[in-house]
Amino acid sequence: KGVNDLDKVVLREVRGSSAEVYLYGGHVTSWKDEHGDELLFVSNKAIFKPPKAIRGGIPICFPQFSNFGNLEPHGFARNRTWSVDDDPPPFPVPTSNSAYIDLILKPTEDDLKIWPHSFEYRLRVALSPGGDLMLTSRIRNTNADGKPFSFTFAYHTYFKISDISEVRVEGLETLDYLDNLQDRARSTEQGDAIVFESELDRIYLGTPSKIAIIDHEKKRTFVVRKGGLPDAVVWNPWDKKAKAMSDFGDDEYKRMVCVEAAAIEKTVTLKPGEEWTGKLELSAVPSSYYSGQ
């Protein structure tokens, strides 16, 4: 069996942290700290094969976020099978001693019928010795017809939390957002931090490069750092929408929150030969170590 026949690749670091990446979707499905504690949420009802995207982990939304366009919601990258890229071009590796895997996605003939643009999407997933998870996406326009293309994008990360009522998200206060529950009406965040008391589905615009998700019960803080991705989506489906999703347990909304590094409001446009880079870096630290901005 060749490496591209594998279902998933496992990255391990000497101090005990690990990560799993499915070739289906180029999808990170597990990220564990050095004690073996899982940090990402994956639904007990998740399906790990086509055509549905895996419910949890880090789905990649490309070339379209949600229904901002004519493609299926969140685009098709999350439900295609990627290949291991054995010979990637020089890559800015975050730390030279990280464990990492390189994947690649190119459109098939059928993909070109629904999105008529040729591209090479290279994804590096790296785990640092300290257990930080880094995703780097490089998307290149390989159109031979001289045409540019535009896309929207998100790393749709599902964080595993103790209880949604114990969680706050910091770093998005005073920002403008589009409210997906109000026909994408534009509002301004008023609170000191985001807390969850009902369904929430918002696209925060022009956000800082660092966002924190503080889990009071676990005394753990996730720090999200991003590059090339100005926006951030915050989503929790709450009880009613949870029940409506066939691949999501009725009560699972209590144990997850999505904070998604994204490029949505301003589409990314690439001319032929041009490349875009979007980076996500996740760390999980004891809340006592986290010193805010």
Could you give the residue numbers annotated as active site?
A: 156, 260
| H helix or E strand, kind and range, residue 109 | helix 109-114
Residue whose C-beta lies closest to ligand BG6: 235
Interatomic CA distance for residues 117 and 70, integer angstroms: 14
Phi and psi torsions of 109, nearest 5°: -55, -40
Residue number, 31 or 235, with CB nearest to ligand BG6:
235
Residues forming beta bridges with residue 167, ordered by sequence position: 215
Contacts to ligand BG6 by CB under 6 A: 53, 66, 73-74, 156, 180, 201, 233, 235, 260
Q: To the nearest whole angstrom, how small is the minimum distance from the Cβ of residue 274 to ligand BG6?
A: 26
Enter the DSSP assignment of 71: S
DSSP 210-276: EEEEEETTTTEEEEEEEES--EEEEEE-HHHHHHH-TTS-TTGGGGEEEEEEEEEEEEEEE-TT-EE
Closer residue to ligand BG6 (CB): 53 or 103: 53
Distance of closest approach, residue 216 Cβ to ligand BG6, in angstroms: 24
Smallest gap from Cβ 66 to ligand BG6, in A, equals 5
> Which of residues 17 and 29 has its CB atom nearest to ligand BG6 in the complex?
29
CB of 133 to ligand BG6, least distance (A): 19
Which of residues 20 and 201 has its CB atom nearest to ligand BG6 in the complex? 201
**Which lies closer to ligand BG6 via its Cβ, residue 170 or residue 201?**
201
d(CA 101, CA 91): 12
Element (H, E) at 113: helix 109-114
What is the chain's alpha carbon radius of gyration, rounded to the nearest angstrom?
Answer: 18
Place of tokens 């615009």: 205
Least separation, in Å, of the C-beta of 105 and ligand BG6?
Answer: 18
Q: Write the CB contacts of 216 (distance below 8 Å, at least 6 apart in sequence).
A: 166, 167, 168, 287
